[in-house]
Amino acid sequence: MKLYAQHGYGEAEKINQGLQKGIISGAVYSAKDITPDRLNNRLSEIAASSPSAARIFDPQYYVSLIGSDPNIRLGKLEEYPYFRIRRRSQLESNQLITDEIRKVIKFQISLPVTAIISPNILISRSFDSVEAVIAKNFIRQAKGIYEEFSDNRPLYVTLAVSREALIDFTELEAFLNDVTILNSPPDGFYLLVGARSIEARTDLYHTDVIANWMLLNYSLKINGYQIINGYSDLISPFLGAVGGDIGCTGWWSNLRIFSMDRFAPEVTGGRLPVQRYLSTKLLNRITFYELGALRRIIPNVANELPMDEKYEGEPERSIEVLQSWEALSSLLAIITASGDSYKNLEKCAEAIKSAEDLYTSIKARYRLDAKSDDTHLEPLQEGMNLFKKRAEI
């Protein structure tokens, strides 16, 4: 599995540096945080400086149904020619869906992207809902419309699902059956799993969410689709183990977990987050000062990768995401090396087991911050077991 940058507010040199260091192999740009003009320039710059890098654009069409709250934060999204606030009832018309897909694809055709992403809405409640019917329509029509443009780049269709909808296994199976018998299938999917909010860590670290997210990757792969997992962050290794092709993560917390919160009216101010260090051994992030303290008593916590030396004290802001990319890409390389799901899953199990052991030895000597603790391990373990049962591996 390869890693892409999930772009957001305040790009600066982060993506350039990630590509130069070879710790990411592409980037997914977000319409909200870049003007159409600048987007075009950035994509061209990357094409020139890193010709082999994947360059993709998420049109964020799913925001169209967010509602009419005047305070929603659309950022630059409104400057895009295809974007308009819609009501769900409008999308019950097949003709409108056709037109919308065409507009979004037409916009991307002129960009120096390496693949096209066709739009979709978010399935927020259930795979058995009006929204899901609309979403299936977006999926069915995409390839046919794309063929009008006689372009030869791969086409990915957005599939955005909330964790609530994903949890229902029976409905998920029925949905997968529909999607795997398409007349004109796309090359793959740009898969997003939405949490209710950015803070709730347990929202996605939940047995059924992990199991079914893995199952989506596994089933789609078996049916010949490529899968780009947007905002997958530390769950990527588990998705890559069972067939996911790409994982993505970015620098802010809203680029590591997908949530419509990103577009909701702003709540309050805040201060910059304490900088964290992604430990591949713990399958989690800890604060830079925890790393500093633990290094002396349990040196095993460090990844032994080049970026470690930037964490002697508090690192520069722009370093944090590079460290995340470096650590995650090395973890992905280890876990998904064999290309065989069964063997990869054994690697995952080993990783969880050694993380548990490491946490045990830390707990005896040091008290960790709540977000740095081991609560993610159990749902990962249980989710993986449930996945195996459901996929009959």
Partner DNA sequence: ATCCTAGGAGAGTGAGCAAC
Partner DNA sequence: GTTGCTCACTCTCCTAGGAT
Which residue among 16, 21, 47, 73 contacts DNA (CB under 7 A)?
73
The smaller minimum CB distance to DNA, of residues 272 and 364, is found at: 272
What is the distance, to the nearest Å, from the Cα of residue 279 to the centroid of all Cα atoms in its chain? Answer: 19
Residue 169 touching DNA (CB under 7 A): no
Beta bridge partners of 249: 5
Closest distance of CB 13 from DNA, Å: 7
Q: How many residues does the chain have?
A: 393
- For DNA, which is the closer residue by CB, 55 or 102? 55
Which region among 15-23, 82-90, 232-240, 270-278 touches DNA (by CB under 7 A)? 270-278
- By CB under 7 A, name the one of 68, 89, 265, 266 that touches DNA: 266
Question: Does residue 106 interact with DNA by CB under 7 A?
Answer: no
Identify the residue among 198, 298, 305, 349 touching DNA (CB under 7 A).
198
Minimal distance in Å, beta carbon 326 to DNA?
18
Size of the residue set binding DNA (CB under 7 A): 30
The per-residue DSSP string of 106-140 comes to HHHHTS--SSEEE---EE-S-SSSHHHHHHHHHHH
Least distance (Å) between residue 27 CB and DNA: 13
Strands 284-287 and 276-279: antiparallel
Query: In this complex, which beta carbon is closest to DNA, that of residue 295 or of residue 317?
Result: 317
Q: Which residues are CB-neighbours of 285 under 8 A, at least 6 positions away? A: 234, 276, 277, 278, 279, 324, 371, 372
For position 272 contacting DNA by CB under 7 A, the verdict is yes
Which residue is associated with the tokens 């979004």? 104
**Alpha carbon of 197 to those of 235, 263, 264: distances in Å?**
17, 11, 10
In this complex, which beta carbon is closest to DNA, that of residue 11 or of residue 58?
A: 11
- The residue from 96, 109, 274, 297 that contacts DNA (CB under 7 A) is 274
Can you name the residues that pair with 2 across neighbouring β-strands? 246
Chain mean position to CA 325: 13
- 265 is a contact residue toward DNA (CB under 7 A): no
Cβ neighbours for 56, distance < 8 A, ≥ 6 positions apart: 4, 26, 27, 28, 29, 113, 114, 115, 117, 156, 190, 228
Helices 377-391 and 341-363 sit at what angle, rounded to 10 degrees?
160
Over the window 357 to 386, marking each residue x when it contacts DNA by CB under 7 A and - when it does not, the resulting string is: ------------x-----------------
CA distance 119 to 104: 7
Min dist CB 72 to DNA, Å, is 11
CB of 276 to DNA, least distance (A): 8
* Residues 243 to 262 in contact with DNA, rule: CB under 7 A: 252-254, 262
Q: Is residue 51 part of the contact set for DNA (CB under 7 A)? A: no
Query: How many Cβ atoms sit within 10 Å of the Cβ of residue 375?
Result: 13
Smallest separation (angstroms) from DNA to the CB of 262: 6
Cα gap 52→50, rounded to integer Å: 6
Q: CA-CA distance, 141 to 185, in Å (whole number)? A: 9
149 contacts DNA (rule: CB under 7 A):
no
Secondary structure (3-state) at 313: coil
Q: Is 75 in the site for DNA (CB under 7 A)?
A: yes
- Of the two residues 159 and 278, which places its CB atom closer to DNA in the complex? 278
Which DSSP helix (H) or strand (E) runs through 46? Answer: helix 36-49
Q: Which amino acid is at 373?
A: D
Q: Quick one: angle between helices 169-179 and 207-222, nearest 10?
A: 20
Residue from the set 94, 318, 338, 360 that interacts with DNA by CB under 7 A: 318
Residues 51, 70, 265, 269: which binds DNA (CB under 7 A)? 269
Chain residues binding DNA by CB under 7 A are 8-13, 35, 38, 73, 75-76, 198-199, 252-254, 262, 266-274, 287, 317-318, 369
